[in-house]
Chains A and B, each alone.
Chain A
């Protein structure tokens, strides 16, 4: 037992965190989904949906929050919101877990002592008096990027009242170079994004339009639209990605060019030179540049060039120049949604650190940021902060920064508070709480700023004041409409058409020519560590590395071979006298000669979920070039370190599993295998699913959506390492040349289900609509079904993952939690089918196409997953399955899966 046993206590704690419910922290013993408990007043509302908005890097994504009996259960996308278009990303899906996390900051503390809420108001009043006397001098407010009109209004009021006060935005993932590039190109910082729906050729230089970010859902959806249209025409749009460190865009690239970080700018210049872009200062050459330039030229206005956040401002300017030269109609410029588009990367904190160090900063407010962890160590933020007499931190968790501040204020979660926000394109939306506040002492940033100003201090009136000002007499109507739709129509920033400045090119950036280069990237699940406390995201295998519960130094297999290392070997990485220890992890899509250090690991978090979990790349980061580290050395230590991965590189080859066809090509329908038995007929509905591998970008949203919808427990790193993950839906990845194919694998619901026949107790059987149902209470746990499942989609409750010693509480009351010793698996969201059936039956009508959406389907930003009745030829899923590139996974086994795949389409095959 010693081998697996110590994990158990950890499991219990982790599942406590992931399964503890709303009630944790509330005073009342409200039991979830208890139908006998009616609210004291008013109509009983079983289920309700609220439109709200969740921020990522300060920019909003409109979401719908489903509640049951007053508790937030699930986050879905808001189709009306441009940054969601009905889809969700992993961060939005996982928000509901953070909301309910019992480890959230719950108490107002001063120097570690719990204080009553009034104490904070008194302290802020005292600070106000002190600061007012010197016009605010000494006050430094640090926030994340602010696009919220209300927060911006409050900050503007504050700065107007106290000219001496300073406001600094800070975001470890800031794209300062893009702003600087826009300044070079147009003389003004504009926001730029491509309208991928219209793009025929996209050249991404280190850019990751399909990767995580505030516009991911929008970009991915439009990319998928263009691709669908291209498939129809037989001419695929071409995504050309030149990059060093693998991204989702690179994985989906039609042409993936692996470049050393130092080669990216020269490559861009070579393409620009080949296109004859005017004003180019320094040209370069690259063997592939001519062909890429030709493709861009051919597409003309339907082409676009994008530069990534790690590239120098010059390359961003060059991209603008290329787009201008091409006459690109794809590229979209608009006024930035952010209230103050200014540098907000680590380097921007230098003045503050100086002020803190020399005593000029007397009052430092750190609102919703965690600079003690995520500012590069070189900057010396933490020691400087320790010298500040009054420092206040507001955060969701008692994090590293909170521990160094004199005041610690719990921050309200977005799902329990009022606010407003703007999307990447400037579209505004009102944030409304989907649940009553779960942390009584928590405040929003707006409330804190208002308290500092001595003004009205509840969030709702603050937000209303902003919009009353904007709408005047039409306020009531506008407010109601905005809450209902989750978006304020017509608030998007207008498209700008800006002329290129003549002297846009500062010339080639100076680059050293020797030494190992480290590329810093946000972790796909925890980003810069801000989501490190979220167990769903920690346990989520990263799309391209399949690493969960941590990170590793990523490099090309050839680089690993050069150093004589294989996966899991520990290295010491050193830069500027600072060093970290970490295992290496070869990734086939990585450029040789450089390494990738993912951010977000090694946190000294307050919970077991986030504590440690990989290397802390911030130690090595250079604040001035935060995305590339020069003069890095790497040396093997000879030790081996554990890396938890759900799929290993040796298993990345599966040509039969993830298939590829040329445009217009397809597969012959499989010949029916001879069978001893007659087939069953499925009259009425026959549920089925089609998953389009061509549009799946591997973003993992479906996996977290499934976890959230189906109360899938978190098993923790120990169990994960043993191979006991519980995700009903997994995303397999397969190598295909230098690109990758993602294959989401839920239960296939085989018509000739091999799992069912071997169950001795009828615990897994078919229903009349073709669902392979798993009857948990009947399962005795022989696990034979899992053995006989060729897709290995069945999950077993080795321990009582879903329960704690405390009374069990379920997040989604429609889905039962599974006890120890039973098998579980994807149900096609059977509870949603049943709900639709009941609904339809009561209204005496058949179930409509699209009425039943599985959680994964609902989440998918590219709509790669289609679900519905395959018996009805007019449904979307039936149409998808009629496509020639439709095939069954392991079709040769003749299990007749109801889930089928649409092969990836690739030109030139």
Chain B
């Protein structure tokens, strides 16, 4: 029996080196990071103040009225959900297709989805007239023995958003477990025992057993497979909240498809912008390579093309083929008081991102980031057009007071934006931004092939 304690050195590196990724959370961050973090934290404080004001004075602080009972609350909600959906969808499809791009973008696409869905999840509660009673949509045994009304699209949405947050979180976390183990081991090697234990607790004692891997992969792909239809369902349910009403411009079978498809460039654009920024600021060129960036920009451009088709189809159906009332409603939406929002949405989500077909534009941070963010902003304009301009033509020619968003609503948007950025910054600081085990795995597989 000989204790062969001294290892024999391996001749060459057999496994892809993911150390640059693992090093990021364990290193010091510069002033820029802290400034960004403070700014986004200030946004969250603003959100807190806005929410406190809202709770104190009521929904009257918004610019909403009858018939515009929904304003920024639903616009922002649908927008954030769209971003979350598209980002999640990308991650899920990449996992299910075992696509090479997954190593590069999955982790932060999932993180962005999670942050967006958290930001979105605030709105269904805050938009209520009495937000503190939001739990009444949950069937719990109350002393008054009244139950939720399960035929409501809002109940679907309650479960939808709950499931969306939880399953997106699960998907992200399951993928994160092995990487947390890597972080644990690296921290331990550096002698940072507290950090190691923290990572260790969240890694749940992952030790890389091939048996564990087998079940882990099964679970990961199962959740991905479950998430795919859930995303479509959740987004559809949100759209159904509009489509099942009797509002002429909303009561359209094509609305769910429109919402799903125009959501895609917003999420993909955001992922593209994040990829470009992470790549540049964290020096991850090796992990998010030019090929990844190119693929991602072309995906965004493709989603944008799909949106263009959806817009064209909407115009064709809405202005030509539908019945008179729906035609008039559509006409009002594209030419009425809020027409600018419609066309801004069309321009920003469906036309400008077409530039990303160009490799040069897609690969340059200076162009990819603004174009990606434009696509995301465009979806916001589109949601504005749907939520506000969609009811400019109601069934009866009743009073149509203007909807003018109030300061409180702008602050709410800013606040959830701050929350989103804060969550992403914390993510970049605390966990590996690229899936390390997938990188290794993919490299090993490509070598084998």
Contacts and interface: CB of A to CB of B under 8 A. Distances in A.
Interface of A: 1-5, 8, 645-648, 651-654, 657, 719, 721-725, 732, 745, 754, 756-762, 765, 778-784, 786-792, 794-800, 819-823, 889-890, 893, 895
Contacts of B61: 1, 4-5
B395 A1 contact: no
Contacts of B304: none
A572 B337 CA distance: 29
Contact of B152 (A8, A646, A758, A791): A758
B241 interface: yes
B70 interface: yes
Given A1-B53, A798-B60, A780 B133 contact: yes
Contact of B245 (A1, A721, A724, A788): A788
B172 interface: no
B147 interface: yes
A821 B398 CA distance: 23
Nearest to B394: A792
Contacts of A796: 59, 66, 69, 129
A723 B137 contact: no
A722 B65 contact: yes
B136 A890 contact: no
Contact of A821 (B59, B62, B148, B394): B59
Contact of B128 (A2, A8, A719, A780): A780
Chain B interface helix/strand/loop/mixed: loop
A790 B394 CA distance: 7
B66 A657 contact: no
17 contacts: A1-B61, A8-B57, A648-B399, A648-B400, A723-B65, A756-B149, A757-B152, A758-B152, A758-B154, A761-B136, A762-B148, A778-B136, A781-B129, A781-B130, A784-B154, A790-B246, A798-B65
A787 B245 contact: yes
Contacts of A757: 149, 151-152, 244
Given A761-B136, A780-B129, A651 B398 contact: yes
Given A759-B152, A760-B155, A780-B128, A732 B398 contact: yes
Interface in B125-152: 127-130, 133-134, 136-137, 146-149, 151-152
B136 A758 contact: no
A721 B151 CA distance: 35
A890 B251 CA distance: 15
B396 interface: yes
Interface in B395-447: 395-402, 404, 406-408
A1 B53 CA distance: 9
Contacts of B244: 757-758, 788
Given A3-B63, A788-B246, A799-B57, 13 more contacts: A1-B53, A723-B65, A723-B402, A732-B398, A757-B149, A761-B149, A762-B147, A784-B154, A787-B70, A787-B247, A792-B67, A800-B58, A820-B129
A792 B154 CA distance: 20
B307 interface: no
A653 B397 contact: yes
A820 B129 CA distance: 7
Given A653-B397, A779-B129, A787-B247, A760 B69 contact: no
A568 B189 CA distance: 76
Given A4-B61, A654-B396, A787 B406 contact: no
A819 B59 CA distance: 12
B391 interface: yes
Interface in B150-164: 151-155, 158
B399 A786 contact: no
A890 B396 contact: yes
Contacts of A765: 149
Contact of A723 (B130, B152, B399): B399
B129 A760 contact: no
Nearest to A778: B146
A797 B60 CA distance: 8
Interface of B: 53, 57-70, 127-130, 133-134, 136-137, 146-149, 151-155, 158, 241, 244-247, 391, 394-402, 404, 406-408
B129 A822 contact: yes
A745 B394 CA distance: 15
B59 A723 contact: no
A800 B130 CA distance: 12
Contact of A780 (B136, B247, B395): B136
A724 B129 CA distance: 14
Contacts of B64: 783, 798
A786 B69 contact: yes
Contacts of A820: 58, 60, 129-130
Contact of B396 (A5, A657, A781): A657
Contacts of B398: 647, 651, 732, 792
Contacts of A732: 396, 398
Contacts of A760: 136-137, 148-149, 152, 154-155, 158
Given A778-B136, A799-B60, A821 B130 contact: yes
Nearest to B158: A760
A673 B346 CA distance: 37
Nearest to B403: A723
A786 B136 CA distance: 19
B66 A790 contact: no
A782 B127 contact: yes
Contacts of B151: 757
A901 to B, nearest CB: 12
A783 B70 contact: yes
A721 B63 CA distance: 11
Nearest to B244: A758
Contacts of A792: 66-67, 394, 396, 398
Nearest to A798: B60
B385 to A, nearest CB: 16
A436 B397 CA distance: 46
A691 to B, nearest CB: 15
Nearest to B68: A723
Given A1-B53, A5-B57, A797-B129, A786 B404 contact: no
Contacts of B404: 3
Contacts of A799: 57-58, 60
Given A723-B399, A790-B395, A890-B396, A762 B66 contact: no
A780 B133 CA distance: 6
B154 A798 contact: no
B396 A821 contact: no
B51 to A, nearest CB: 13
A732 B396 CA distance: 10
A762 B149 contact: yes
B396 A724 contact: no
Nearest to B135: A780
Contacts of B158: 760
Contacts of B149: 756-757, 759-762, 765
Given A759-B149, A787-B67, A4 B406 contact: yes
A302 B283 CA distance: 97
B246 A754 contact: yes
Nearest to B246: A790
Contacts of B133: 780
B245 A758 contact: yes
Given A783-B70, A783-B129, A723 B406 contact: no
A889 B246 CA distance: 14
A29 B154 CA distance: 45
Contacts of B246: 754, 788-790, 893, 895
A745 B244 CA distance: 24
Contacts of A652: 397
